[in-house]
A and B are shown apart, each in its own frame.
Chain A
Amino acid sequence: MHPGVEVAGKPDLTRRALLLAAGAGALATAASAALPARRRARAAAREAAAEAAPQGRHPTRPGPGPLAGPATAAAAPPPAEPPPLAGAQLRGRVPPPGLASAAPAPRDGLRDVAGAPVYRERRIALASDWVRTDRRAPPPAFLRRQPQPFSPPTPETEAVAPPLDRPSRRLAPRLPGGSAGDATASGGEAGGSPAPAVAAPPGVSSLPAGPDRQPLVSLSPEVRHVIARLTYGPTPALVAEVEAIGPAAFVQQQLDPARLDDAALEGVLARSPVLGRSAAELRDGNWSLIKRELRHAVLLRALWSRRQLHQRMVDFWSDHFNVWIGKGLTLPYLVPYVRDVIRPHAMGRFVDLLRATAQSPAMLHYLDNARSRGDNPNENYGRELLELHSVGVDAGYTNEDVRNASLLLSGWTIGEDHRFRFRPEWHHEGPLRVMDFASAGTGGQADGLALLDHLARHPATARFLAYKLCRRFVQDDPPEALVESAADIYLANDTAIVPVLRHLLGSATFWESAGKKLRRPFDYLVAVLRVLGASPETAGGSDAARWLQDWMARLGQPLFEWLDPDGYPDRAAAWLGSEALRQRWGFAGTLAHGWTRGVAVDLSGLLPDPLPATAGELVGAAGARLHAGPLPRWLWSALLDFLGVPADAPLTPRLLESHGPALAALLLASPDWQRC
């Protein structure tokens, strides 16, 4: 169902209601009145939408419709002939063979509510479905093109095509970036960087990089959900794997990362001249290279690690214990910080993680504890330790508690060797209290350790961490009961993190939360790279690292650049807005067109072989490969509109070349990729 048809008038209604709710009247009476008004308006709008368009539900909403699970779907008898679509959207088109009207009908008879077969079968890629005896044209130039590590011209300066005139359009404009496919096929050599940037180094074969023709869609919403939340996004191989073992088993597997073989990736990272070094060694190194190596390693792990949940937890703790890369000498400290502090403890016990961060030169320097002396303490770390790292701002501590915490940790500093050092002569001695913790103040460094142990096991810390983990892995406003139960488990397991995760990921709330989170910019970037099978160069000093890090910044989440100690925000509200989408659209478009540096993207490797015969089939195949869920009918229709030809128009090389990349980009720009 096309949204333009489905929800006539609704967006206006909603916007108006929003304005009213935010307006003078609502606030004058009571600020909180805005909430119910807004919710009422939205609920009304949703009801109206649901009535008007039963099959137009959002693909990621649970319930009947495109998301219907196998059981439900199987129960629906396949109609002999799909009923016609609403006239307004059909516009005389016939859905492609395999989508609706042609044989063979979908094997399992899946239908959406209106009775139209749902376009989501994995079998879509079976060659036999696509073979047309009357069609033996060679693949178009665009599809033969080798991935280009670099494509200099920008769309603004190079586009030569006339403005799009859809109905009468027959001549395909050429893509910017070269005189069509043939020339660009040799562009790599001409540009002096011959091989497509690439992936598997000698001796390493299991990196999941590179294009993959298998479709992405899974019949199971659970499979899609567990992949969306626990990992950095689906790939055909991952979907197949999770379908094979089942989502529950996948969760268990991810909760035990040590058993997952990551040797291939570690082999790649081991070649880094930076990642294995000490802070003392790095201080005299090339700082801009160190910075790029550090960030690129995070990206490559997100992209290729099989320990996806572990990497997501590293990301979580990197925010929780945020350290800003830009402060003074922080950068060389960050390499060992991520390697020796965050990664080893990311799925261990929080108490160990808290101790490790407190003694890490990165944190000591970032929050000034390295400078704090008992006779005149620096409160920076002491305050954030309570507010952000442990009990949380609502725990009821006072400014005296902040000061006392700082005194207990005074003398914790950085030695000449750029490692942790305790200096007794800087340490405050004497009895102190921090909330319900009391110290005689005679134990030297043990005073501070006792405080950290106490804080890690504090019920307020349990609650705060449980809340944050729920927010990250379940939904922005997690139910109280889930947070409380997770906090109990945290305390019962002596601050171990895995049992808490196991609890969250096994909860009914988790399984009902599909699509409720907004992907943060870094997650979006990685998800798009993964689904495209994009292969960045692996060296931190490469063009790929530079190019991708530039995009991280443009998307709003350049790693380690968050200045304040609270880390990048987690809630959707912090990331929504015009600029977020503009940049995401821009990234999807740039990548799909292959206007990259050092990142090989091969769209041709994603389509079935042989190619679809018609435009309608092309949209179907692209949707099966690149849409985050089953491709709903309205979306198929909208994308066909974009191609500007009837569904049964033969797929020409020109059409593929002129519209293929943007078609892929539109799929990646769709809201389903923004959510997880």
Chain B
Amino acid sequence: MSHRPAFTLTRRRFLQGSGALGFGGALLAAAGPLPAHAAPGRPGRGDALVVVFLRGGLDALSACVPYQEPLYFTRRPTLAVPASRVLDLDGRFGLHPALAPLHEIFQEGDLAVVQAVGHPAVNRSHFTAQELWERGFVVDPFVPGWVARHLAGTPADGALRAVASHPRLPLALRGASGAIAVNHVEGYGLEGFANYEKQAVMATLSGLYPGADLLAEELATSAELARDAIQAVAAVDRLDDTPAHGAVYPDTTLGRRLRDVARMLRAPQAIPLDAAWIDVPDYDTHADQGTWKEGHLRNLLDELARALHAFHTDLLDVRNEVTLVVASEFGRQVHENGSGGTDHGDGGCLFVMGGGVRGGVYGRWPGLADEVLVRFSGLAVTTDFRDVLAEIVEKRLGHPDAGVVFPGHLAQPLGLVDGVA
């Protein structure tokens, strides 16, 4: 990897006893005077990537509605979003009314929607589909996730560079050097010890994790990251946490997670973040997903759109340095089922947000006629996930070769982002 910054800490250095003191001090000095909304740029590095992953399978036909298709309304007698209610995108498709905040961003030209996106090998199993997505469609348990692969091929500006706003790392980030899980920025630190003993405890903990076998090495790496994270995230936590430009995040888990990520993106001195991952649960709407007016899915979409809008507003100053992707493992079936929901399907939709995005609707629409549906029930996949992601990886994230991140796939870019200047 490229250079290691001053505060990168190796196990050896940490073990040299007093090294810990200098480390903490240097970081504090670096992080202290940072203005809250600085936009220091990312010289030599591409955009920071933020992935918002909707677990369970987003019902794309409700989120991005093909409202000119009569078949949509016949297949979805109770669930269809009325044409009169959708927020038009391009004369053919329209967003769910709960996505109004996203529609604003679309109108500003910072949002791209990709229709009928998916992967041919996805078999309607959540677990297979999510795993494929996160591994970048390489089926090999020993290969790191695709975000980890991307990071391995781009320069780092520090020891910590990727964050999952979650208690655990998602597969996509596993195997990445410098990837940490930060469930809450607020109050982050070494807990359970009095202030007077923390430093000595930390120094002792360092020595307690020798790597004598594979699992011990993994634990040692985790311990090393925990130490780095305790320093760095606590430094972020000391900074002003007021969102910029009056952005207001919804008071929900997703709102807090996006807000945490934004805080870290605004504090590159503490964590030079290159990637962030946020999981959103509960999109598996088999029953009672609700109507356009109310219900489970509407609530989810409403929260999502407000949180994303706040994030976009918060980071307006650095909007050309952050690219955000909203994706889900698969779309849901075109026909609604007998319990007011939809079962696992195939093609779905995907959103890309950021200053480098060429706003618009992308992807070839396959239609809803029986003969073009997958197994007579799912939307056909006309755009491979990898085409979208590979383009972002190369053009926005500054990776020299997306073929390394998504091996075995010859990507066909859709032209949905500009190259980094």
Chain A residues near B (Cβ < 8 Å)? 2-4, 6-12, 14-15, 18-19, 22-24, 27-28, 31-32, 34-35, 38, 42, 45-46, 49, 56-58, 61, 155-156, 158-164, 166, 173, 175-176, 367-368, 371-373, 375-380, 383, 387-388, 393, 399, 402, 515-516, 518, 554, 556, 563-564, 566, 572-583, 585-593, 595, 634-635, 638-639, 641-642, 644, 658-659, 662, 665-666, 669-671, 674-675
Which residue of chain B lies nearest to A642 when distances are taken between CB atoms in the complex? B204
> Can you pick out 26 interface pairs between chain A and chain B where the beta carbons lie within 8 Å of each other?
A7-B211, A11-B217, A12-B10, A14-B211, A14-B217, A18-B175, A24-B152, A32-B140, A38-B142, A56-B212, A58-B216, A155-B191, A159-B194, A368-B287, A368-B339, A380-B284, A380-B286, A564-B284, A572-B215, A572-B218, A576-B222, A586-B190, A586-B192, A666-B201, A666-B204, A671-B210
Q: Which of A56, A585, A589, A591 has the largest number of chain B CB atoms within 10 A?
A: A585
The answer to whether B220 has its CB under 8 Å from any CB of chain A is yes
Which residue of chain B lies nearest to A172 when distances are taken between CB atoms in the complex? B196
Asked whether A578 and B222 contact (CB < 8 A) given A27-B404, A31-B138, A175-B194, the answer is: yes
The answer to whether B3 has its CB under 8 Å from any CB of chain A is no
CB-defined contacts of B193 to chain A, threshold 8 Å? 155, 589, 593, 662, 665
Interface residues of B in 139-186 (CB under 8 A from A): 140, 142-144, 148-149, 152-153, 167-169, 174-177, 179-183
Please give 7 more A-B residue pairs, beta carbons under 8 A apart, in addition to A8-B12, A378-B338, A675-B215: A3-B210, A11-B217, A31-B143, A42-B214, A387-B127, A573-B174, A638-B207
Of the four ranges (under 10, 10 to 19, 20 to 34, 35 or more), the interface on chain B belongs to 35 or more
A162 to B149, CA, bound (A): 45
CB–CB B181/A373 < 8 A: no
Asked whether A582 and B230 contact (CB < 8 A) given A19-B1, A589-B192, the answer is: yes
CB-defined contacts of A9 to chain B, threshold 8 Å? 12
The answer to whether B199 has its CB under 8 Å from any CB of chain A is yes
CB-defined contacts of B222 to chain A, threshold 8 Å? 576-578, 580-581
Chain B 274-299 against A: per-residue CB contact (8 Å), 1 yes, 0 no?
00000001101011000000000000
CB-defined contacts of A377 to chain B, threshold 8 Å? 337-338
CB-defined contacts of A582 to chain B, threshold 8 Å? 190-191, 226, 229-230
What's the minimum C-beta distance from B213 to chain A, rounded to whole angstroms?
6
The one of B11, B138, B152, B183 in contact with A579, judged by C-beta atoms closer than 8 angstroms, is B183
A57 to B213, CA, bound (A): 9
The answer to whether B74 has its CB under 8 Å from any CB of chain A is no
The one of B15, B341, B400 in contact with A3, judged by C-beta atoms closer than 8 angstroms, is B15
The answer to whether B197 has its CB under 8 Å from any CB of chain A is yes
Asked whether A556 and B168 contact (CB < 8 A) given A155-B195, A582-B229, the answer is: yes
The answer to whether B421 has its CB under 8 Å from any CB of chain A is no
CB-defined contacts of B209 to chain A, threshold 8 Å? 3, 670-671
The one of A27, A375, A393, A579 in contact with B128, judged by C-beta atoms closer than 8 angstroms, is A393
CB–CB A373/B338 < 8 A: yes
Interface residues of B in 253-293 (CB under 8 A from A): 281-282, 284, 286-287
A23 to B142, CA, bound (A): 13
CB–CB A515/B196 < 8 A: no
CB-defined contacts of B230 to chain A, threshold 8 Å? 582
What's the minimum C-beta distance from B184 to chain A, rounded to whole angstroms?
9
What's the minimum C-beta distance from B93 to chain A, rounded to whole angstroms?
27
Interface residues of B in 2-37 (CB under 8 A from A): 10-12, 15-16
Interface residues of B in 337-392 (CB under 8 A from A): 337-339, 341, 343-344, 375
The one of A27, A388, A591, A642 in contact with B143, judged by C-beta atoms closer than 8 angstroms, is A27
CB–CB B10/A11 < 8 A: yes
A34 to B194, CA, bound (A): 43
CB-defined contacts of A564 to chain B, threshold 8 Å? 55-56, 126-127, 284
The answer to whether B205 has its CB under 8 Å from any CB of chain A is yes
The one of A22, A163, A368, A669 in contact with B176, judged by C-beta atoms closer than 8 angstroms, is A22
Which residue of chain A lies nearest to B217 when distances are taken between CB atoms in the complex? A14
CB–CB B287/A11 < 8 A: no
CB–CB A31/B210 < 8 A: no
Which residue of chain A lies nearest to B338 when distances are taken between CB atoms in the complex? A376
A272 to B410, CA, bound (A): 62
A580 to B327, CA, bound (A): 26
CB–CB A22/B338 < 8 A: no
CB-defined contacts of B128 to chain A, threshold 8 Å? 393
A399 to B128, CA, bound (A): 14
Which residue of chain A lies nearest to B143 when distances are taken between CB atoms in the complex? A31
What's the minimum C-beta distance from A263 to chain B, rounded to whole angstroms?
36
The one of B16, B210, B226 in contact with A581, judged by C-beta atoms closer than 8 angstroms, is B226
What's the minimum C-beta distance from A450 to chain B, rounded to whole angstroms?
23
A57 to B405, CA, bound (A): 37
CB-defined contacts of A58 to chain B, threshold 8 Å? 210, 212-213, 216
Which residue of chain B lies nearest to A14 when distances are taken between CB atoms in the complex? B217
CB–CB B142/A35 < 8 A: yes
CB–CB B152/A11 < 8 A: no
CB–CB A164/B181 < 8 A: no
Interface residues of B in 223-260 (CB under 8 A from A): 223-226, 228-230
CB-defined contacts of B226 to chain A, threshold 8 Å? 578-579, 581-582, 585
CB–CB A383/B177 < 8 A: no
What's the minimum C-beta distance from A490 to chain B, rounded to whole angstroms?
23
What's the minimum C-beta distance from A632 to chain B, rounded to whole angstroms?
10
CB–CB B194/A19 < 8 A: no
A588 to B196, CA, bound (A): 17
A376 to B79, CA, bound (A): 15
What's the minimum C-beta distance from A362 to chain B, rounded to whole angstroms?
15
A565 to B407, CA, bound (A): 31
A566 to B121, CA, bound (A): 21
CB–CB A387/B229 < 8 A: no
What's the minimum C-beta distance from B204 to chain A, rounded to whole angstroms?
4
What's the minimum C-beta distance from B416 to chain A, rounded to whole angstroms?
24
What's the minimum C-beta distance from B60 to chain A, rounded to whole angstroms?
18
CB–CB A578/B190 < 8 A: no
Which residue of chain A lies nearest to B282 when distances are taken between CB atoms in the complex? A563
Which residue of chain B lies nearest to A593 when distances are taken between CB atoms in the complex? B192
A444 to B343, CA, bound (A): 24
CB–CB B208/A666 < 8 A: yes
CB–CB A518/B215 < 8 A: yes
What's the minimum C-beta distance from A615 to chain B, rounded to whole angstroms?
14
Asked whether A579 and B181 contact (CB < 8 A) given A371-B338, A585-B226, the answer is: yes
A662 to B190, CA, bound (A): 13
CB-defined contacts of B338 to chain A, threshold 8 Å? 371-373, 375-378
What's the minimum C-beta distance from A37 to chain B, rounded to whole angstroms?
10
The answer to whether B414 has its CB under 8 Å from any CB of chain A is no
A173 to B199, CA, bound (A): 14
What's the minimum C-beta distance from B138 to chain A, rounded to whole angstroms?
5
CB-defined contacts of A516 to chain B, threshold 8 Å? 215
The one of A32, A56, A156 in contact with B195, judged by C-beta atoms closer than 8 angstroms, is A156
Asked whether A24 and B181 contact (CB < 8 A) given A42-B214, A57-B212, the answer is: no
A35 to B140, CA, bound (A): 10
Q: Which of A24, A579, A674 has the largest number of chain B CB atoms within 10 A?
A: A579
What's the minimum C-beta distance from A228 to chain B, rounded to whole angstroms?
13
Interface residues of B in 111-138 (CB under 8 A from A): 123-128, 138
What's the minimum C-beta distance from A330 to chain B, rounded to whole angstroms?
13
CB–CB B200/A56 < 8 A: no
The answer to whether B38 has its CB under 8 Å from any CB of chain A is no
A27 to B151, CA, bound (A): 13
CB-defined contacts of B15 to chain A, threshold 8 Å? 3-4
CB–CB B140/A595 < 8 A: no
A638 to B229, CA, bound (A): 23
A137 to B420, CA, bound (A): 73
CB-defined contacts of A591 to chain B, threshold 8 Å? 192
CB–CB B210/A162 < 8 A: no
A301 to B364, CA, bound (A): 57
Asked whether A164 and B142 contact (CB < 8 A) given A579-B181, A669-B208, A671-B208, the answer is: no
The answer to whether B403 has its CB under 8 Å from any CB of chain A is yes
CB–CB A23/B152 < 8 A: yes
CB-defined contacts of A34 to chain B, threshold 8 Å? 142-144
What's the minimum C-beta distance from A587 to chain B, rounded to whole angstroms?
7
